Structure 1
Amino acid sequence: MSSIARTRRSLRAGVVAAAATGLVLTGCGGVQTSTGGSSGGDYPSGTVEMYVGASAGGSSDLISRAVSKGLSDDLGASFPVINREGANGALAAAEVANAAPDGAKIAIQNASLFTITPLAVSPDEVTKIDEFDVVQGISRDDYVLVTSPASGFRTLADVEKSPRVVRYGTTGVGTGAQLSAALLFKTSGVSSQAVPFDGGAPALAAVLGNQVDVASIQVGEAIENIQSGKLTPLAVFGPERIEYLPEVPTAKEQGLDVEVTQYRFMTVPKGTPQNVKDALVKGLKATFETESYKEFNKQNSLTPMEVSGDEVTASLQEDQKRYTDLVAQYDINLRNEG
């Protein structure tokens, strides 16, 4: 087992243990006071709850816990991570959107909730970015199309020439994995069938077990099996090649107009005082500079996207329009594509 694999296994074990501890504390009588900030007070002056819209052990959860530790170290307060998985992150988002704008509840959120999920749900289920203040960009987590060596596919061209219907796995409806794969097969004209799974782990297991021909999965979740030869990477869906898989060409390099990325950013309730947001930015920037956090990014194949909240908002607006136009252009119905 590689040192990276050992470290990631250790990280995930620690996350599960931390999550279990959190559940025990919740069940006990010990109550912590969540205290945010006002327009003139110090922040943080108490516990700050950090919501994550995924279960313990996944990319979103690991990122939130790494940031939580950095904020705790720099700002001298407790930032416990609270998992509210479901609806592609919408349940956790609602906790923050409906909270008092004092910084007592915050969240690192996924771009796909605001740029892709709205294309797959009814209008009354859409989570809008203008319900939040975006504080700071965190990192980007690219998607990669993978296959088992047993499939016979060695390149994306092999998939395009497939005489049979290609079954592809995704990590759920309204996700970047779904959109990237749907766009790839629509733009290439390959006959395909979507097989949705509830997250990256089951999608990964399906492609490893040859239950599907290919799958679009976040790089951090697939890279160990790629490095061990259990999976063959066919394309990455980012704007350029990534440093963790430098030999794998993008879909665009291979002639297909498919660019879909996942990135994450810190949010607070709309109308949160500037001193609160400034304190969080300070803590985040200090976290980004630590060697332990830089190593965490490398271990989990994350590309830093440490930009301002305004830059994140502009990217969200641009991506939402681009995805909306592409879905219309290729007549893709994400509700039915799987």
Structure 2
Amino acid sequence: MSITALRRTGIAVSAAAALTLTACGGVETSTGSGGGGDYPSGTVEMYVGASPGGSSDLISRAVSKGLSDNLGASFPVINREGANGALAAAEVAKATPDGSKIAIQNASLFAITPLAVSPDEVTKIDDFDIVGGVSRDDYVLVTNPASGFRTLADMKNGNRVVRYGTTGVGTGAQLSAALLFKTSNINSQAVPFDGGAPALAAVLGNQVDVASLQVGEAIENIQSGKLTPLAVFGPERIEYLPDVPTAKEQGLDVEVAQYRFMTVPKETPQEVQDKLAEGMKATFATEEYQEFNKQNSLTPMELSGDDVLTQLQEDQTRFAELVKQYGINLRDEG
């Protein structure tokens, strides 16, 4: 599980939207409002492609609470974990585009997972409209102090195979670590785990030499001295680990970060998207939500939908080129 602070028991809530007759004798959900002028007029299901208690789940619940408070409707979180978020994405993509089903989704599903799965398994951003950005969750490479590594240079000079753990195939953790070892020419072996919790346990238990984890997963053990951070993979140092240099600062062309954004089915009315954006902006402005970000080591990435799409497209191109350049096979390298 990604975020150790504010851990809650996730409750999957299935809420059926009430049906109302239209003037033409048809039916629509209570949330749907044609042009979207009275949105939301009923329950809005908010899908998350992860199990209760993880980072994606907790972020979705924090935003859900804010939307409920600010828009005066219920936004229950529905967990559809599996396939790096693809199952939840499919639920939203095929939904009626009236704002009754929405989701905060991970950039990795669209920019990294396609490099690790067959073409028919790819989830396409073209199936969604992006309402706006939410936050960034950086990756950090950590080691057990018993490894003897204090810097990336120590690994390079260690003259041994470095076993590294990641949080699964097609994730930012996988790509960041694979790029680091390829660009540094360090002899390494990938050890994939099904999520952050087992990868964290493995590096704490010295079963792997290093692991690429989201900062929220590792920071408590870093602060207690149980883990040594070697590099962060974001575009700049982060406020939660200000003394930890980026991979780029250490001479490696590695920049990978997880970020999340609100999505709705393609062709959702602009009025609906605007209302959601309004509710998100109000949520982001609250002290409660800002404290949530700090407690969970999240960096705000509260961009417009257009700006998020531009960033996502740039990352798709950049990652594909890097994977090709360094001969990385994400399907087989953990």
How do residues 295-314 of structure 1 correspond to structure 2 at under 5 angstroms?
Answer: 295-314=291-310
Residue type at the aligned position of 1:276: V
**Distance in 2 between residues matched to 1:190 and 1:279, nearest whole Å:** 50
**Distance in 2 between residues matched to 1:138 and 1:241, nearest whole Å:** 19
Aligned counterpart, 2:163: 167
**Distance in 2 between residues matched to 1:294 and 1:259, nearest whole Å:** 25
- Given candidates 30, 39, 53, the residue that maps to 1:35 is 30
List per-residue Cα deviations over 1:137-187 (Å, max 9, x = no partner): 000000000000111111111111121110000000000000000000000
Aligned counterpart, 1:3: none
Aligned counterpart, 2:195: 199
**Distance in 2 between residues matched to 1:97 and 1:36, nearest whole Å:** 17
How do residues 24-63 of structure 1 correspond to structure 2 at under 5 angstroms?
Answer: 33=18, 35-37=30-32, 38-63=34-59
Do the aligned residues in 2 keep the contact of 1:8 with 1:299 (CA within 8 Å)? no
- Provide runs of 4+ in structure 1 moved above 4 Å: none
**Distance in 2 between residues matched to 1:47 and 1:282, nearest whole Å:** 17
Aligned counterpart, 2:282: 286
1:337 alignment partner, SS class? coil
**Distance in 2 between residues matched to 1:141 and 1:152, nearest whole Å:** 27
TM-score (norm 2): 0.94
Aligned counterpart, 1:118: 114
TM-score (norm 1): 0.93
Residue type at the aligned position of 1:99: A
Aligned counterpart, 1:188: 184
Do the aligned residues in 2 keep the contact of 1:145 with 1:234 (CA within 8 Å)? yes
**Distance in 1 between residues matched to 2:303 and 2:295, nearest whole Å:** 21
How do residues 316-331 of structure 1 correspond to structure 2 at under 5 angstroms?
Answer: 316-331=312-327
Aligned length: 321
Residue type at the aligned position of 2:31: G
**Distance in 1 between residues matched to 2:212 and 2:124, nearest whole Å:** 25
1:336 alignment partner, SS class? coil
Do the aligned residues in 2 keep the contact of 1:162 with 1:190 (CA within 8 Å)? no
Aligned counterpart, 1:228: 224
How do residues 97-176 of structure 1 correspond to structure 2 at under 5 angstroms?
Answer: 97-176=93-172
Do the aligned residues in 1 keep the contact of 2:143 with 2:203 (CA within 8 Å)? yes
1:83 matched to 2:79? The reply is yes
List per-residue Cα deviations over 1:237-290 (Å, max 9, x = no partner): 001000000000000000111000110000000000011101000000000000
How do residues 59-78 of structure 1 correspond to structure 2 at under 5 angstroms?
Answer: 59-78=55-74
Aligned counterpart, 2:25: none
1:265 alignment partner, SS class? strand
Do the aligned residues in 2 keep the contact of 1:35 with 1:48 (CA within 8 Å)? no
1:268 alignment partner, SS class? strand
**Distance in 1 between residues matched to 2:331 and 2:36, nearest whole Å:** 46
More helix by share: 1
Do the aligned residues in 1 keep the contact of 2:130 with 2:263 (CA within 8 Å)? yes
Aligned counterpart, 1:4: none
User: Percent of pairs identical after alignment?
Assistant: 80
**Distance in 1 between residues matched to 2:189 and 2:320, nearest whole Å:** 22
Structure 1 regions of 5+ residues with no counterpart? 1-6
Do the aligned residues in 2 keep the contact of 1:237 with 1:261 (CA within 8 Å)? yes
Aligned counterpart, 1:332: 328
List per-residue Cα deviations over 1:70-124 (Å, max 9, x = no partner): 0000000000001111100000000000000000000000000000000000000
1:266 matched to 2:262? The reply is yes
Structure 2 regions of 5+ residues with no counterpart? 19-28
Do the aligned residues in 2 keep the contact of 1:133 with 1:272 (CA within 8 Å)? yes
